[in-house]
């Protein structure tokens, strides 16, 4: 007959055997704590709770109108060396079938070649990400440029202070570097 002797367990092994159940419970509870934020983001992306966190109203440019909203009601987000960016959402009017493209830019565009960030998505929920230069003046304007299939172009603007008060506060805090 052979006799086996039990090897003594290390303290780390005993701790793992004692607490592994509790750690597994934590692995289940942490995602549940983050679920409300995820569900809020998902419902906003589907359009169930509006265009964005801050609706700015309707803007008219020539024969076309657009509803515009600030996606996140916060300061611009850094994208590393590319600079700071702000996301806006628009919804074209039901009669805007002849709109080819919509652009967004801080400051008046010099030409259609410098019209700014292109909105993408369906006509009723388009997303545009605009670069916010650190040297932007707080009294600057956001310019929307509409380009039609027949070549016509219409522009409208909205003051940055009305479009994004959080961005203006961020610019004032930056101090015009």
Average pLDDT, the chain: 88
> Is residue 75 assigned to a domain?
yes
Give the pLDDT confidence of 132-154 residue by residue, as tens digits. 988 888 889 999 999 999 989 99
- One domain for residues 141 and 170: yes
Q: Are 101 and 157 in contact (CB under 8 A)?
A: no
Residue 4 lies in a domain: no
Q: Please give the share of the chain, as a percent, with pLDDT higher than 90.
A: 41
Is residue 38 in a domain? Answer: yes
Q: Do residue 40 and residue 59 come from a single domain? A: no
CA–CA dist 159, 59 (Å, integer): 12
**What pLDDT was estimated at residue 131?**
92
Do 62 and 75 share a structural domain? yes
pLDDT of residue 2: 65
Closest CA to 68 of 90, 101, 87: 90
Kindly report the CATH number assigned to the domain that includes residue 128.
2.60.40
Asked if residue 5 is part of any domain, the answer here is: no
Q: How confident is the model at residue 20 (pLDDT cuts 50, 70, 90)?
A: confident
C-alpha 131/C-alpha 161 separation (Å) is 16
- 85: pLDDT confidence band, cut at 50, 70 and 90? very high
Alpha carbon 107 to its chain's center: 20
Q: Do the domain assignments include residue 2? A: no
177 pLDDT band, cuts 50/70/90, is: low
- pLDDT tens digit sequence for 29-75: 888 888 998 998 888 888 788 888 889 889 999 899 999 999 888 99
The pLDDT assigned to 6 comes to 72
Sheet holding 99-106, edge to edge: 117-118, 99-106, 141-148, 153-159
Within-domain flag for 21: yes
* 115 neighbors 102 (Cβ within 8 angstroms): no
Residue 1 CA to residue 160 CA, distance in Å, equals: 87
* Domain co-membership, 15 together with 73: no
Q: How many domains does the chain have?
A: 2
Residues 147 and 60 in one domain: yes
Taking residues 118-124, report their average pLDDT: 90
Q: Are residues 67 and 101 in the same domain?
A: yes
Q: Which domain holds residue 98?
A: 54-174
Whether 58 and 36 share a structural domain? no
Looking at the structure, tell me whether residues 24 and 81 fall in a common domain: no
Banded pLDDT at 176 (limits 50, 70, 90) = low
Check residue 44 and give its pLDDT.
83
The answer to whether residue 158 is domain-embedded is yes
């Amino acid at each position: 007959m052979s006799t086996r002797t039990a090897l003594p367990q290390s303290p780390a092994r005993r701790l793992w055997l004692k607490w592994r159940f509790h750690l597994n419970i934590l692995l289940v509870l942490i995602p549940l704590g983050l679920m409300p934020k995820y569900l809020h983001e998902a419902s906003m992306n589907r359009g169930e709770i509006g265009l964005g966190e801050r609706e700015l109203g309707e803007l008219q440019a020539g024969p076309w109108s657009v509803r515009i909203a600030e996606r996140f009601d916060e300061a611009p987000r850094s994208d590393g060396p590319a600079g700071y960016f702000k996301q806006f959402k628009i919804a074209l009017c039901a009669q805007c079938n002849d709109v080819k493209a919509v652009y967004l830019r801080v400051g008046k565009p010099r030409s259609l070649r410098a019209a700014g960030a292109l909105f993408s998505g369906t006509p009723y929920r388009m997303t545009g990400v605009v670069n916010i230069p650190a040297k932007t003046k707080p009294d600057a304007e956001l310019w929307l440029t509409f380009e039609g299939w027949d070549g016509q172009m219409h522009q409208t603007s909205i003051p940055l202070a009305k479009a994004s008060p959080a961005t203006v506060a961020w610019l004032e805090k930056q101090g015009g570097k």
